[in-house]
Amino acid sequence: MNIIDALCHRKSTRAFLDKAVSREKIVNILQAARHAPSGTNAQPWQVAVVSGKKKDELTRAMENAFRKDGIGSMDYLYYPLEWHEPYKKRRVACGAQLYGALKIERRDKARRMEQWIANYRAFGAPVILFFFLDSAMQKGSFLDYGMFLQSVMLAALAEDLATCPQAALGQYPDLVKDALGYSRDTVLLCGMALGYEDKEAPVNSYRTPREEVQTFTTFFD
């Protein structure tokens, strides 16, 4: 698969097979992703690879936290406090595609809630990657991290693996840091589900649309 095909093929996968991922494959992915660019070659990424019993304990703790207290607070604001167009429309359409694929009606709040809780289980993926940043770093490192995350997702395709980057896995930062032994003086950016795609799952059957180039590009000659 060439680079352009990989960019077009990558998607957020929300159902995974119960199949272990070898450490060799994970190391191969990170070996490739570490070549992502970063300002002054700072390489600000810190990655926790969580699987097995530790993953089960952590996902259970996040689910319990949600059921007890609701959505937690991330270390930073990922989304705007107030949505406006065209982003609001795109967000609504994205949700409609997800619930439509699962045949969950708008009024079925119980099933919608259970689907949301699936976020904290990383959709059944056997591996979760958690991404941390030293709190001394600034906004430029968020840009660097975005390139690193994309590199991880594209490298995963080369290993026949699927991914889903998840802000939801960053909603209980203190819980995650304490469980994994990371200092609270770090920023938990997000998590990422990693595993083998369940290609029969309806939730993996849809693709969100992308805007045409001319809608976001201006050429100056």
Any idea where the domains of the chain sit in the sequence?
11-68+120-201
Which fold would CATH assign to domain 11-68+120-201?
NADH Oxidase (3.40.109)
Q: Is the pTM of this model over 0.85?
A: yes
* Residue 165, strand partner residues: 192
Q: What is the pLDDT along the chain (221 residues), one digit of tens a residue?
A: 899 999 999 999 999 999 999 999 999 999 999 999 999 999 999 999 999 999 999 999 999 999 999 999 999 999 999 999 999 999 999 999 999 999 999 899 999 999 999 999 999 999 999 999 999 999 999 999 999 999 999 999 999 999 999 999 999 999 999 999 999 999 999 999 999 999 999 999 999 999 999 999 999 99
Q: Please, what sign has the CA dihedral across residues 56, 58, 59, 63? A: positive
> Which CA distances in Å does 145 have to 29, 169, 204, 211?
15, 16, 26, 24
